[in-house]
Structure 1
């Protein structure tokens, strides 16, 4: 077994505790990745706070980027030394997976939040006892650690000339916002789009809407600094929801409502605003992650008689092997500057990173774990 350092959550609400653990050898279809950096996502805090039923103790982290250290005997997708981004996990054999809908895998919850591999096994153990397991494989990776074991399925090879320490968030949060616009909503040239929520997902959607050719791009949030950044990233208009009714403001800006809206705050009241802000035949995508069982309401006739659509979106409806490298290329061309969302932290600053994220001080924290070889 290999000794690793990892951030472990042992009780509801945290904190993240930096501990030495033992990590098993890769299975035949697995890849050991030396984690260079890992993004911190709202979903990590959702799991830490037990808004989703994730078993404890657990190593979280699901936006890892790093270098392939070791491959299992049947792995042929990557080789030792490859630069990779880790993304969500899917089974590959259920009906949705077989038809290409991997983000809607029938086993998505178990594989991403169940704290173990598909067969129920774990690879991480207490340092003083190889018989006492710590839950892992969060999103198929558990990358709040110096090394992560992932299935070759959710290991995505990326270009060596891209800044690897920056790329981890493409595996979830950035992919979710950009993919919601490009893959799920299919925002088209000349259309109007509004992002309700100016966090990493919402701002990624703003950038993607610009790439997609939307000509009216609106950001709605309550933090002035985020609204200012949205303008820098491609928004044509902003709305401070504390100072103006966002529904009325969107209708005024668009002369009748937005063609597309995306709700990323996870707040039912904001979802209602996003639906009400739509134009006739408009579409609202839902990507916010509230506690399990959260319910929302809308005006049934207001949706039915206008032909509005409300769709749930997981991981931006993305095929990661195609979409993540595409986002890397857009970044390299200067068309998707997601680096403007980022602030770096060391592993021993992980609790500060979480606090800064929750307070809105930092939009997308990235935890550095290893430096790149010279």
Structure 2
């Protein structure tokens, strides 16, 4: 198999031959048909989330099951799957339907190895750290588990479904799983990338009105209007954004922060009516101090953090696919595809905002007689 290997933090990726280690009993080997690039991948590439080197990231993979471990019964070779975050299925959060808050989330998704410390990849003479979000799918193949591989209909275009496993799930989930607005309620979204646009589409599907989008990128605001935003603002040219929003809507029922800066969190919180709720999703760094007005909260407003849309992927990904098939969640309009070997260009376009959701498309051949 080939993978985009990062030898050191901040390096450009190198396409290299690597090999999967023997599958554990609950694991599957997936031939990747397409993998999205997400902002969280950049946090590993730039060292914000530290990983041992060398490593392979990528956590919005989708493809076809090519091999299964000895205890796997939920999936068979040939199944089409969307890969998502890993979770234990056993802790209180997982059992109560909130696997994004799994007690082992960090160990299963961020450490670069399995829970027992063994790697999923090697290059012959050295370990290659994988297991990024239980998959490391910037590769032609990925080792995942039945916990984070969601079976989907094999008639769907599997190559573009990978972003449903993280970015799309996060923004839409914050609206549909956390805020749960009623028809006619108002919402504002700060940060119009994949996550923010997913929130806009989910708000439109929920019948929200008005739907306000805030971003300094005029092209992104145009996309937001196309996908359902009723009003858009560039915060760099509006002298008092909160006042403008309060004048427009009398305060919003719900807001979404998909940026993670203190300024944006305050704006999103202060734009709420009383009562109202703001969900913060953006990740700037692992320690990110912000300041809010406690008196503002005392008036019945809520600020809550949300990871992975508080979604159970095995339930929520099929729901998002159903919305897409009904024309209510047109996520495919956000996608730009790149050949897997052109990952450097895809990363550059993602960083500059040229591409909203780059998806890498490998040209896979089946693994035969692969050394492990």
- TM-score calculated relative to the size of structure 2: 0.96
**Correspondent of 2:345 among 348, 352, 370:** 352
Cα deviation 1:21-68 (Å, max 9, x = unaligned)? 111232110011000010000000011111112222110000000001
Distance 2:260 2:341 in 1: 29
Name 1:287's counterpart in structure 2: 281
Tell me the residue number matched to 1:338.
Answer: 331
The partner residue of 1:259 within 253, 260, 270 is 253
| Number of the residue aligned with 2:355 | 362
Q: Distance in 1 between matches of 2:297 and 2:155?
A: 47
Pair 1:237–1:372, CA change in 2 (3 A) = farther
State the match for 1:109 in structure 2.
Answer: 106
Measured in 2, the distance between the counterparts of 1:199 and 1:120 equals 35
CA deviations 1:154-178 (Å, max 9, x no partner) are 0000112221111000000000000
* 5+ long unaligned stretches in structure 2: 367-372
Distance 1:110 1:29 in 2: 17
State the distance in 1 between where 2:82 and 2:159 align.
10
Of 142, 147, 151, the match for 2:145: 151
1:26 corresponding residue in structure 2: 23
Query: Which residue in the other structure is 1:187 paired with?
Result: 181
Do the aligned partners of 2:160 and 2:332 also contact (CA within 8 Å) in 1?
yes
Q: Contact (CA 8 Å) 2:341, 2:362: kept in 1 or not?
A: no
Residue matched to 1:83: 80
Inter-partner Cα distance in structure 1 for 2:261 and 2:347: 20
Partners of 1:287 and 1:314 within 8 A in 2? yes
Is this contact kept in 2: 1:89–1:140, CA < 8 A?
A: yes
Shift of residue 7, structure 1, vs aligned partner = 0.6
Q: Secondary structure at the match of 1:336?
A: coil
* Shift, 1:8, TM fit: 1.1
Q: Does the 8 Å contact 2:31/2:364 carry over to 1?
A: no
SS at match of 2:147: helix
The equivalent of 1:232 in structure 2 is: 226
**Contact between 2:131 and 2:143, CA under 8 Å: does it hold in 1?**
yes
By how many angstroms is 1:82 displaced? Answer: 0.9
Note if 1:217 corresponds to 2:217.
no
Distance (Å, rounded) in 2 between the aligned partners of 1:355 and 1:267: 23
Matched, 1:138 2:132: yes
Determine the structure 1 residue equivalent to 2:369: none
Following superposition, the deviation at residue 295 of structure 1 comes to 0.5
Alignment gaps of 5+ in structure 1: none
The corresponding residue for 1:326 is: 319
RMSD: 1.3
Equivalent residue, structure 2, for 1:14: 11
What's 2:241 paired with? 246
Alignment of 1:162-181 (within 5 A): 162-181=156-175
